[in-house]
Amino acid sequence: MEGRIVSGFGRGARDLGIPTANLPVDDELTPWIADIKSGVYFGWASLRLPSSHPNQLATISSSTTTTTTTTTMGFGVYPMVMSIGRNNFYNNTTRSAEVHLFHKFDADFYGVEMRWTAM
């Protein structure tokens, strides 16, 4: 399953010390969210960070006599826990999908494509 990271309320990091990457709950952008039972899920998430992000994994450079090509490696994979539901802690009335990645990132990554699978 996949989606692009959107900004949330910032409460996970600020109030709880647990930053989350929020996925849009939208029938067109992320139709799979409507079919998943509310709960907390463990699994793996992957991000395709831009080359400008400080946590970008690697690049490969190759040179010929006429050109130099730099290719950014694909997705970085991280363990994650994901909450899908109404977030009772904050009395939310609409569903949300929030992913906490078990990795310390040096910068935000809004708009980045995330793919994930639950165990």
Show which residues are catalytic: 98
Q: Is the dihedral of CA 50, 78, 102, 98 positive or negative?
A: positive
Task: List, as own/partner pairs, every contact residues 68-75 make where C-beta atoms lie below 8 angstroms and the sequence separation is at least 24, other chains included.
Answer: 74/48, 75/46, 75/47, 75/48, 75/115
Residue 117, strand partner residues = 44
The angle formed by the CA atoms of residues 119, 16 and 97, to the nearest 5 degrees, is 40
